[in-house]
Amino acid sequence: MMKLRAYCFCLSPIIVLLFLIGCGGEGNKPSNPNIVATYVHAEITAEGLENYLKQRTEGIKVQVGDSLVPVIDKIPRTVEVYSGIIREMVLDDMIKRKIKEKQLDNRNNIRHALKHAEDRVTLQELHSEIHERNKIPVSETEIQQYYDKNRGRFANKQLYDVREQIKGILVSEKEPAYVEKYISELKDTATITKNYEILKIPEPGIEDVRNAYEKGRERYREPQKWIIEQLEMEGGKAKENAEKAWAKLGAGEGFEAVARSFGKDARLTTIEHKSGSRGDTFEKAVASLNPGELSRPIEEKGKYFLARLKERIPASYLPIDQVRDEIRQSLLKEREEKLYEERKAQTLFTLHGRRFSLEDFYQEFKEMPPSEQKRYSSYEERSKFVDRMIVRLLLLEDSYDRMLNAKKKNEIEEAREHVLKEVFHEEQVDQKLEVKDEEAKKFYEENRKHFQTPPKVKVSIIAVHRGRNEADDKRAAQKIEEAYQKLKPGFFKKGIAFEEAAKQYSEDPQTAQKGGEISGWIAESANPLVEIQDHHLHEKLMDLEPGGITKPFPVGEDYLIIKVREKETPRPQSFEEVKEYAKKEVRANKHDDLTMKLYKDMMNEAKLVIHEGALKSIINKTNKEKKVGAAK
């Protein structure tokens, strides 16, 4: 199984980070020429360095020309690269020691996560065994039949060139039936008892819901609300602009026109203001208005507002029918927690005499994301979930001993280390991250020019399939060109409508009869016609004005002509629109800073000394050996 590690110049983002940190002094000549570095806990030898490098690059290859070569052969042998690898080795060891000091692997919740990591490795090994050991038979006749049926798919390649590819496809197609039969046989020979009744939670009755509604009535009280049109002004001239805007409105000028001259982002916004959601000054000003009335300038946190009341909505209680499901779910959750705690020691199922309690299930259940917990909220779905737990256990039980080998042990150890390092990083970095609104606002102000809505267009297309050979491609090119010529007006003719050309020429069944129309907006940052971006024509498309069309161009398996029907140009975005994104960016920056500080502190604690002279000797020796090998 190939190990999933990213390859870059120095093997790991950590090494890049450690280059930036630059910890580790340059030592004098060591007492032993084989020692390339020392730190508080150990010495690093040349052999240790090379072994670590081999381990980190095992199974990874890179493309060089037409060949795949081991990545280790392409890593530059320089003092800088070796120093980066040494720093990674030391940091890795320091983290492991910290994990051991904190005894992270002795905590109950983490032990459970480690067991899951081991299970994943075993199931991955089982999947590999199915594919690598010909567990799913594929005959030569089946391969030949598939090739004959799908010859065009292989671009006229001979059968011997694509035999293994076809075999892989057929194995994947047969795999679901094979696994289903395999699981069925395991179930037939297994001794399983089930007690799913303890999963059931009694459904709340009508009176239960009504009593909970009356008891918690204040939770369902909607405060007084006002629907207002709001003009916002900020900056050094906010107060002056607010007075000017108020004067113009008093003189009878329209609210929209005034907003274009003085408003933030040159626009007027309509908002629903709930009582208690803003400061006293703003609320008192709005509460004093009658529908249609305009407020005087309102100052709030350095900004100025003008508000016109459209509608006042009195405080009220939400009717029970509107919150019935919310109450029901709340009662079910309360009952679930109480009953599952009472029943936690009861047996949910047994497998070959091994007992699994309701507590075992509930621990698995609570570790799932909220969306998955909601999916398995009913008794029926939870029963299916437990069935899947049993299947997983059967597979693990059947395959664990058979595949217990050195390779798997290494994979399990790596998986355990990965989980523990994630927990360590979360405690040392993630749990210390906090982003305040003021920090996000500062980031927004510093990067305001970048916060704009992307340009958007609505388009129609004419698509002609290129086919699978040269003759088909030539036919398609002629057809799309003919459509384009029909669209172009000439000296003696008027071009036909795009919609008519799409119905006549387009081979896209979903849009042709609609005149080529693709519904919805296509945004620069989220374009469903991904291939257009891949072919560097996205900007060209965005440059077109409404009514403009492109020349024919190839996209994947089609030739296209695109017409822009509508276009929406970028506009500045307010802080509220991008607040969550700004918080994520600030959080990411803080995360990097805290991570850098953590690693730097640990490297300082390590007191690493790198012996560059010893490294240069190793490099010179390696280069001489390569030259001798090349000469032979």
CATH topology of domain 453-568: Chitinase A; domain 3 (3.10.50)
Q: Write the class of the CATH domain 224-314.
A: alpha beta
Q: How confident is the model at residue 119 (pLDDT cuts 50, 70, 90)?
A: low
* pLDDT, tens digit (0-9, with 9 covering 90-100), for 247-295: 998 888 888 888 888 887 777 888 888 888 888 889 899 999 999 999 9
622 near 77, Cβ under 8 Å?
yes
Which parts of 92-215 are beta strand (E)? 192-194
623 near 47, Cβ under 8 Å?
no
605 near 40, Cβ under 8 Å?
yes
146 near 182, Cβ under 8 Å?
no
Q: What's the pLDDT score for residue 193?
A: 94
462 near 482, Cβ under 8 Å?
no
Among the residue ranges 215-229, 292-306, 359-373, the one predicted with the least confidence is: 359-373
Among the residue ranges 114-118, 360-364, 381-385, 625-629, the one predicted with the least confidence is: 114-118
Q: What value does the mean pLDDT take over residues 25-43?
A: 80
Compute the Cα dihedral for 427, 428, 429, 433 and give only its sign: positive
* pLDDT, tens digit (0-9, with 9 covering 90-100), for 302-340: 889 999 999 999 999 989 999 999 999 999 999 999 999
Q: What value does the mean pLDDT take over residues 538-547?
A: 75
Burial bucket for residue 390 (CB in 10 Å: 0-12, 13-18, 19+) = buried
Given a cut of 50, is residue 524 above it in pLDDT? Answer: yes
User: What whole-number distance in Å separates Cα of residue 403 and Cα of residue 157?
Assistant: 38
Only one residue has tokens 């991955």, namely: 124
Among the residue ranges 28-37, 312-321, 570-579, the one predicted with the least confidence is: 28-37
Q: What value does the mean pLDDT take over residues 591-595?
A: 91
Q: What's the pLDDT score for residue 106?
A: 67
Burial bucket for residue 61 (CB in 10 Å: 0-12, 13-18, 19+) = middle
Summary mean pLDDT of the chain = 82
* pLDDT, tens digit (0-9, with 9 covering 90-100), for 66-100: 778 888 888 888 899 899 999 999 998 998 898 88
* pLDDT, tens digit (0-9, with 9 covering 90-100), for 10-31: 345 544 455 545 555 555 666 6
User: What whole-number distance in Å separates Cα of residue 351 and Cα of residue 360?
Assistant: 13
Please give the share of the chain, as a percent, with pLDDT higher than 90: 31
Given a cut of 50, is residue 39 above it in pLDDT? Answer: yes
User: What whole-number distance in Å separates Cα of residue 332 and Cα of residue 88?
Assistant: 50
Q: What's the pLDDT score for residue 157?
A: 79
Q: Which long-range contacts (CB under 8 A, 24 or more apart) does 466-471 make?
A: 466/554, 466/557, 466/558, 466/559, 468/152, 468/153, 468/155, 469/152, 469/156
Q: How confident is the model at residue 3 (pLDDT cuts 50, 70, 90)?
A: very low
Q: Where in the chain is the domain with CATH 3.10.50.40?
A: 224-314, 453-568
Given a cut of 60, is residue 567 above it in pLDDT? Answer: yes
Q: What's the pLDDT score for residue 5?
A: 32
